[in-house]
Amino acid sequence: MLARAEKAQVHAEEMVKVVDAARTEAVAAFDAVRERQVSAQTEKLSIESIRDVSDGQLRLDTLPEKGFFTVADVLRAGAAQLASACDIGEDEATKVVEAAQQVRQEVRDSLQFRIDLDPSDAQTTRLLQALAVWAAVRHAGEAHQKQGAQLARELAEHRPQAQDAGAGKMRRLFMGAGRKQAADVAAQRVQALMQEAASSGLLRASRDVLAVKVPTAAEVWRDFEQRSAAYYGLLAQVVDLGGDVAAAEGHLPADIVERINAQRLDTSRLSDSLRLRGYQSFGARFVLVQRRVILGDEMGLGKTVQSIATMAHLAAAGATHFLVVCPASVLINWTREVAAHSTLPVVALHGSDRARAAARWHDQGGVAVTTFGSLGTLTGTPTRPSLLVVDEAHYVKNPNARRSQAVSEIAAASERVLFLTGTALENRVDEFVALVGHLRPEIASTMEAQHGVSGAEAFRRVAAPVYLRRNQQDVLTELPELVQVDEWEEFGAEDGAAYEAAVSEGNFMAMRRAAFAVSDPRDSAKLGRLLEITAEAMANGRKVVVFSYFRDVLETVCAALSPRACGPITGSTPTVERQRIVDRFTTSPTAAVLVCQIEAAGVGLNIQAASVVILCEPQVKPSTEAQAIARAHRMGQVRSVQVHRLLIADSVDQRMLEILGSKAQLFDAYVRHSAIAEASAGAVDISEVQLARTIVAQEQRRLSHPAGPKDVHAMQAAVNARS
């Protein structure tokens, strides 16, 4: 028995040592990669940076003459070599080096650490391997680590007396009664500890920890490319990656932040593979504390995961029923995400079997996922969801719409309500107020349009209890570079003729897609450039996603790309088929092109397998384009993302960019910073009809086409049409 006890203690102690050693190795590997990145930055900084930190008091003029051009050059040389080579004196040289070290420290403090996708990089490979090992050993041992440590302490405490219990008869004869009794009690306690260890699997867990192997370089890089977000999540638990804490907390007032930070988040019902980022944990706790809120995080920050974490916490506390309402296009994605990231049962309330599924949900509980269209069948039911989640909540910004009224009815009966939207203030302040009205009418009543002219701080104070928004650039410092290129082209004969005809007719929509109205791809400047971009991207092993508002443009693109094209995904593509197309594109072993209607696939789908985005034409709403780009440039993306906008000079494209430029800036001020700019609330509203009328008139004047009454009618019809 004592031998077993000692073995258990050794295993427990070894398990703790292995976990600690794995963490230490991960920290050391991170430090090595970070210092290399810091060194690379100092190689780019001229000695003018040294002059800046020294207020211009150091003599640096002779350094370039002697071959010292950068901060890195100075640091490599050291004071002695600088003094000798530049004839500036040892004291002066020492001050120069100290100033260079100060610059390096500033670089280190401000560094946005990022893991580049480079399997040949030995140091970064070591870091990824260390993180993988640490995750594995911690997972194998974390459930028993505290128990093992407690076991080790108790075994150490009882071992001496337990040994007396195993003494021979002669030795026990000379023991006092009290000592023998204490020895027997200690032995019984040791036996109980051993039984506890055996029943809890402590010995097995410790063996699992000791058996963890280091993945090969190929294995760990393949895993990182597929699950980079998980690796960054692990890294954030090992080291401080910095970041703007206030931004991660949505710049909320201190009293609200204090309450949220005091809220514990129970993650026991989440899957073992899910590691919440700090800002994601904060978001889930924001929902728990504030109860009826809008989570307006920018695309790609994991609003779905934060919702699931909230439901998992409530389920761990005994809650049974949860309801998610979303567009049909993302229903399957929701069911898959809930199943993948939690142990909560999930059921889809959609299609011909929804009545039976709803009855099962009412009886058994779990997460029910339904669409805006199917929501009406659930109103009036006795079930009171512990949490109602409304995805793409801007769909219910019109209080007079039937789906808005259905959401409002169920929201009123729900204990907690979470609206998810990356574009809560898409065009007008009153639309945002309408969303708040579903949740907190008393707050909505104070959010009148005058807050639009009273400044950002005033709006932030009013919205704080109900609205949390974080931006990618603030919390995802590891995101790869986003490169945006405007590809300006000129009309050819055929597409130019189609454009002039559309202008003459006053047909705004035909003007927007005239560049693709050709019989031969070689006759379209836009289509020709699209084929060049996709060919180059695929030759470099990159996957491409092409977005257009128009179905006939997508058909033209698919015909030109065939058989390389996946899709197209349009508004009429069934939900199951939509996800199947994305899965096929994502898992394709070779480069591919996904072709999508921007309003169908620009929302809800995860297309991070693509690292090249092509936009066939400018969009009327800046948010539509931002959403589409965020399908690829999001958490988990490991490649730099290239965005190519196909534009025709001196056409509707150029006119739209000129007019929408100011609108995009106001959108940025309204939405990205969770505050209203110091401008009139209506200033951000540019209707499609107004935009079309303005641009058509401009182009008709430019091309000397007189406008008539029928042209205005055509514009209205074209805007209302949905191709």
Which residues make Cβ contacts (< 8 Å) with residue 280, sequence separation at least 6?
301, 302, 305, 306, 309
Integer Cα distance of 126 and 28 in angstroms:
10
> What does the DSSP 8-state code read for residue 50?
H
Is the omega angle on the peptide bond into residue 160 within 30 degrees of 0, that is, cis?
A: no
Q: Which of 288, 248, 246 is nearest to 267 (CA)?
A: 288
Give φ, ψ of 414 to 5 degrees.
-95, 145
Going by pLDDT thresholds of 50, 70 and 90, the confidence category of residue 192 is: low
Q: What does the pLDDT read at residue 554? A: 93
What is the average pLDDT across 109-117?
81
> What does the DSSP 8-state code read for residue 637?
-
Q: What does the pLDDT read at residue 685? A: 39
Going by pLDDT thresholds of 50, 70 and 90, the confidence category of residue 676 is: very low
What is the average pLDDT across 617-639?
81
> What region does 380 belong to: left with phi over 0, alpha with psi -120 to 50, or beta?
left
Sort 476 into a burial class: Cβ within 10 Å, 0-12 / 13-18 / 19+.
Answer: buried
DSSP 54-80: TTT-S--TTTGGGT--BHHHHHHHHHH
Q: Tokens standing for 63?
A: 């350094």
Sort 225 into a burial class: Cβ within 10 Å, 0-12 / 13-18 / 19+.
Answer: middle
Which residues make Cβ contacts (< 8 Å) with residue 154, sequence separation at least 6?
189, 193
**CB-based burial, 39-55: b 16+ in 10 Å, e otherwise:** bebbeebebebbbebbe
pLDDT digits (tens, 9 = 90+) for 226-273: 777 788 888 888 887 766 666 667 778 888 888 998 999 999 999 887
Q: How many residues does the chain have?
A: 723
> What does the DSSP 8-state code read for residue 175?
S
pLDDT digits (tens, 9 = 90+) for 381-400: 667 899 999 998 888 888 88
Q: What does the pLDDT read at residue 718? A: 45
What is the end-to-end Cα distance of the chain in Å, rounded? 79
Distance of CA 474 to the CA centre of its chain: 11
What is the average pLDDT across 184-192?
65
> What region does 455 belong to: left with phi over 0, alpha with psi -120 to 50, or beta?
left
89 or 315: which carries more pLDDT confidence? Answer: 315
Q: What does the pLDDT read at residue 310? A: 97
E-state strands within 329-481? 346-349, 366-371, 387-390, 417-420, 467-468
Q: Which of 167, 162, 166, 156 is nearest to 182 (CA)?
A: 162
Question: CA 707, 711, 712: angle at the middle one, nearest 5?
Answer: 105
Integer Cα distance of 128 and 225 in angstroms:
11
392 within 8 A of 420, measured Cβ to Cβ: yes
Per cent of the chain over pLDDT 70 is 75
Residue 580 CB neighbour total at 10 angstroms: 14
pLDDT of residue 368 exceeding 90, the answer is yes
> What does the DSSP 8-state code read for residue 394?
G
Sheet of 641-648: strands edge to edge?
482-489, 641-648, 610-615, 543-548, 593-597, 565-569
DSSP 107-165: HHHH--------TT-HHHHHHHHHHHHHHHHHHHHHHHHHHHHHHHHHHHHHHHHHHHH
Angstrom CA distances, 122 to 33, 34, 163, stand at 10, 14, 51
Q: What does the pLDDT read at residue 388? A: 96
DSSP 458-524: HHHHHHTTTEE---HHHH-TTPPPEEEEEEEE---HHHHHHHHHHHHHT-HHHHHHGGG--SSGGG-
pLDDT of residue 438 exceeding 70, the answer is yes
Q: Tokens standing for 488?
A: 């300006």
Domain ranges of the chain: 1-241, 243-474, 483-650+687-720
**CB-based burial, 6-17: b 16+ in 10 Å, e otherwise:** eebbebbbbbbe
Q: What does the pLDDT read at residue 683? A: 32
Q: Which of 206-220, 235-249, 593-607, 610-624: highest mean pLDDT?
A: 610-624
Helix (H) or strand (E) holding 280: helix 278-290
Q: Rg (Cα) of the chain, in Å, rounded?
A: 31
Residue whose tokens read 């001050």: 95
Integer Cα distance of 606 and 601 in angstroms:
9
Integer Cα distance of 6 and 194 in angstroms:
10
Angstrom CA distances, 2 to 161, 164, 196, 506, stand at 11, 11, 15, 93
pLDDT of residue 90 exceeding 70, the answer is yes
Integer Cα distance of 35 and 113 in angstroms:
10
Q: What does the pLDDT read at residue 553? A: 94
Distance of CA 623 to the CA centre of its chain: 17
601 within 8 A of 609, measured Cβ to Cβ: no
Q: What does the pLDDT read at residue 593? A: 93
Residue whose tokens read 């028995």: 1
Kind of pairing between the strands at 387-390 and 321-326:
parallel
614 or 48: which carries more pLDDT confidence? Answer: 614
Q: What does the pLDDT read at residue 175? A: 57
DSSP 408-446: HHHHHH-S-EEEE-S-TTSS-HHHHHHHHHHH-HHHHTT
Residue 80 CB neighbour total at 10 angstroms: 12
Listed as own residue / partner, the contacts of 79-88 with beta carbons closer than 8 Å and 24 or more positions apart are 86/62, 87/62, 88/59, 88/62
pLDDT of residue 502 exceeding 80, the answer is yes
Q: How many CA atoms lie within 13 A of 428 on its CB side?
A: 11
pLDDT of residue 278 exceeding 90, the answer is no
595: which strand partners? 546
CATH 3.50.4.10 fits domain 483-650+687-720: no
Q: Tokens standing for 546?
A: 């092409």
pLDDT digits (tens, 9 = 90+) for 298-336: 776 889 999 999 999 999 999 999 999 998 877 887 988
Q: What does the pLDDT read at residue 417? A: 96
Integer Cα distance of 517 and 503 in angstroms:
14
pLDDT of residue 722 exceeding 90, the answer is no
The CATH architecture assigned to 243-474 reads 3-Layer(aba) Sandwich (3.40)
For the CA atoms of 699, 702, 706, 710, what is the dihedral angle to 10 degrees? 0
The rounded mean pLDDT for the chain is 79
Which residues make Cβ contacts (< 8 Å) with residue 316, sequence separation at least 6?
266, 268, 269
> What does the DSSP 8-state code read for residue 569?
E
Map residue 322 onto helix, strand or coil.
Answer: strand
Dihedral of alpha carbons 268, 272, 278, 283, sign: negative
716 within 8 A of 689, measured Cβ to Cβ: yes
pLDDT of residue 214 exceeding 80, the answer is yes
Map residue 643 onto helix, strand or coil.
Answer: strand
pLDDT of residue 157 exceeding 70, the answer is no
338 within 8 A of 308, measured Cβ to Cβ: yes
Question: CA 106, 108, 111: angle at the middle one, nearest 5?
Answer: 105
What is the average pLDDT across 353-368?
89
What is the average pLDDT across 611-638?
83
Per cent of the chain over pLDDT 90 is 22
Q: How many CA atoms lie within 13 A of 78 on its CB side?
A: 2
Q: What does the pLDDT read at residue 183? A: 62
Going by pLDDT thresholds of 50, 70 and 90, the confidence category of residue 549 is: very high
Going by pLDDT thresholds of 50, 70 and 90, the confidence category of residue 177 is: low
Integer Cα distance of 713 and 723 in angstroms:
18
367 or 674: which carries more pLDDT confidence? Answer: 367
Helix (H) or strand (E) holding 24: helix 2-44
> What does the DSSP 8-state code read for residue 216?
P
